[in-house]
Structure 1
Amino acid sequence: MRVWWIALLMGTLLTGCTTPNRTTKPFSAEQVNAPEWQGRISVQVLGDAPSSMSASFLLRGDAKNGELDLYSPLGTTLGALQWTPQLVQLSDGGKHQYFNSLAELTEKTTGAALPVEAIFGWLQGQQINATGWQADLSNMSQGSLSARRTEPAPEVTLRIKIDP
């Protein structure tokens, strides 16, 4: 009987360590041919009240119509960001929060307003200018992107690692 309980406990623990398959949502008509990226993202904000966030992500669409799902290390959804020209929202555990801009939404979820349009370009290997940001695309062939914002304060570091 004791062996059975140990086996059950080990099975439960191992199941908790697996990352569940992420269900993909159907694409809208605008997103059918849009690229998709999956990997890890981290944002570090320096300054008087430093903060950082790190998560797995699934990004679909483009800077005008897109979705960004953020996941914990165990695969649970931390938040689902969605934007269109008419709607900018964060879905978090059944709650929906609406925002006036994508910059406002990314600041709420990551601690900093991110240059979403530039990020889509950077992920495609394009050196897009974003005010105050410097992107390092030298490791994009290995799926790594880093960018740093120095102006306006506080300084922000963004790192993205794309899954192969």
Structure 2
Amino acid sequence: MRAWWLACLIGVLLVGCATPSRPSKGLNASSPTNLPAQLPEWQGRISVQVLGDAPSSMSASFSLRGDAYNGELDLYSPLGTTLGALQWTPQLVQFSDGGKHQYFNSLAELTEKATGAALPVDAIFGWLQGQHVQATGWQADLSAVSQGSLIARRTAPSPEVTLRIKLDQ
């Protein structure tokens, strides 16, 4: 009887450690950005560390669709709940958190709100495709992109920022 309870406990713990799969939104007309289906899509984990006087960090699972001009980035907790949804077009830059929408003037402002640092979104799309795109103050290590891993660091202006992306394979 004791072995049965131990087996149940181990099973519950293993299930609790599993990362739930996120439903794919699909690119359809109900999406605020109306992304064309041929645009790339990535899923994985992202972390952003900001050093300096008030250090901060964030880590989340993500689903990224589109490009630097029209795109969507959904951020998820380890339990699979949506932390926030970022959408951008040439006419709209917004962050949705639950039922609330916040609008921004630029992608830099939007990514700073969501991650704690202004990220070079146009360069990130290039880096994810293995392209050596220049972004002021940023250095990207693309040596492991083919294995689904990207690390980029911003050293100027302060504070220093480290971006890590690990793609689902």
TM-score by length of 1: 0.89
Residues 60-109 of structure 1: CA deviation (Å, up to 9, x unaligned): 00000000000111111100111111111111111111111110000011
Conserved? CA contact 1:31–1:65, under 8 Å? no
CA distance in 1 between counterparts of 2:166 and 2:107 reads 22
C-alpha RMSD of matched pairs (Å): 2.2
Name the residue aligned to 1:21. 21
Name the residue aligned to 1:35. 40
1:21 deviates by: 2.9
Conserved? CA contact 1:67–1:82, under 8 Å? yes
Q: Identify which of 97, 100, 113 aligns with 1:108.
A: 113
Conserved? CA contact 2:74–2:85, under 8 Å? yes
CA distance change for structure 1 residues 139 and 11 in 2, over 3 Å: closer, same or farther? closer
Residues 12-56 of structure 1: CA deviation (Å, up to 9, x unaligned): 766654433322223155431111110010000000110000001
TM-score by length of 2: 0.86
1:3-152 paired onto structure 2 within 5 Å = 16-28=16-28, 30-152=35-157
Residues 107-151 of structure 1: CA deviation (Å, up to 9, x unaligned): 011110000000000000000000000000001121110000011
CA distance change for structure 1 residues 14 and 83 in 2, over 3 Å: closer, same or farther? same
Name the residue aligned to 1:3. none
